[in-house]
Amino acid sequence: MILNERDNRHTHVLGIAKQMMTAARTAPKGKGIDAIEVALVAEQDLKALADEMTRIADETGMKFFLRDADNVLQAECVVIIGTRVCPQGLNCGHCGHPTCASRPQGVPCALNTIDVGIAIGSACATAADLRADTRVMFSAGLAAQRLKWLPDCQTVFAIPVSASSKNPFFDRKPKKEE
């Protein structure tokens, strides 16, 4: 049997992304409480994600959303990682408010935000160990959040994944309006 890498690349990258999801799930948590949600975006949903990013660019004028939308379309898949709102009850003040009860609606618990960051780092480290290219994207995460792909998650980031001869997420040029 002869198996050409090009014929198996998509399946292989999806396998790497699934390992990234496991790494995100098993990443250490600040208080040991798991409020992380993780999902895989692939196939036609990549276009839906890029389209939402384009809508955000049109609404906000932030052109980097257009560049990042192009990157999403160049990826084999995208891993999205978010955290549900889950105050830890520590009254630690890390969110900028003295107690969890005094934290205004919409202000995230700092431990939840730190936990999602640790999960992202663990997922990216896994991809690097397996020699896949990634980039952490706030833009694609916001689009996934607006699409409600991780229900109840307040802070969402996205990690496009690629395994091509040239990393599409490196040396990126700003998207020009045409």
Q: Give start and end residues of each alpha helix (H) in 32-148.
A: 44-60, 64-74, 110-129, 138-146
Q: What is the spatial distance between Cα 81 and Cα 75, in angstroms, rounded to a whole number?
A: 16
Fold of domain 21-162: NADH Oxidase (3.40.109)
pLDDT in tens, the chain (178 residues): 998 988 899 999 999 999 999 999 999 998 888 999 999 999 999 999 999 999 999 999 999 999 999 999 999 999 999 999 888 889 899 889 999 889 898 888 899 999 999 999 999 999 999 999 999 999 999 999 999 999 999 899 999 999 988 888 887 676 665 4
Contact (Cβ atoms closer than 8 angstroms) between residue 49 and residue 140: yes
Every domain of the chain and the residues it spans: 21-162
Model pTM?
A: 0.91
